[in-house]
């Protein structure tokens, strides 16, 4: 399985999200945060030899075996990140303007922190020998 690859990319996407906050690309920070968390959860699935399908972080979390399910507050944060999957990229999602007109520094910081927590949670549940 490709657990290590998914986790490495999750960490790289999280770094991209952080850099996007610094450059004022708040919509991209939110999207990269979503991508980071999604890939971390998919790494966790890979560690149990399952290919997770889809892009909903919260749904993937809910479908995990009981011993791997995160606490409710983390599922709530996953739901927040799920909201960034489409509107961060497509102008036709909004009544007018582009995504860059709608995202803020505070939202971007929050998304990065939510993704960081999810990446760390997933990393803590993956056996060390699968991510070395």
Q: Could you tell me the CATH number of the domain that includes residue 77?
A: 1.20.120.330
Phi, psi of 110 (to 5 degrees): -65, -45
Q: What is the pTM of this model?
A: 0.97
For the cut 80, the answer to whether the pLDDT of residue 1 exceeds it is: no
Tokens of 117: 């927590």
Tokens of 109: 């910081």
Q: pLDDT value at position 71?
A: 97
53 sits in the region (left: phi over 0; alpha: psi -120 to 50; else beta) called beta
The whole-angstrom separation of Cα 97 and Cα 104 is 14
127 sits in the region (left: phi over 0; alpha: psi -120 to 50; else beta) called beta
| H helices present in 1-132, as ranges | 3-23, 26-47, 57-62, 72-82, 105-125, 128-131
Tell me which residue range forms the domain holding 70: 3-131
Q: pLDDT value at position 37?
A: 98
Q: Which of 103, 102, 56 is nearest to 80 (CA)?
A: 56
The whole-angstrom separation of Cα 94 and Cα 61 is 28
Tally of domains in the chain: 1
Q: pLDDT value at position 132?
A: 85
| 51 CB neighbour count, 10 Å cutoff | 9
What rounded mean pLDDT belongs to the chain? 97
Q: pLDDT value at position 42?
A: 98
């Amino acid at each position: 399985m490709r657990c290590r690859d998914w986790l490495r990319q999750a960490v790289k996407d999280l770094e991209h999200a952080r850099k996007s906050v610094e450059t004022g690309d708040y919509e991209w920070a939110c999207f990269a945060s979503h991508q980071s968390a999604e890939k971390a959860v998919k790494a966790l699935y890979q560690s149990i030899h399952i290919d997770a399908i889809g892009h909903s972080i919260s749904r993937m979390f809910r479908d995990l075996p009981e011993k791997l399910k995160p606490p409710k507050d983390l599922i709530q944060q996953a739901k927040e990140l799920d909201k960034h999957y489409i509107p961060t990229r497509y102008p036709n999602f909004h009544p007018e303007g582009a995504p860059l007109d709608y995202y803020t520094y505070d939202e971007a910081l929050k998304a990065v922190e939510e993704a960081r927590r999810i990446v760390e949670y997933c990393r803590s549940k993956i056996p060390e020998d699968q991510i070395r």
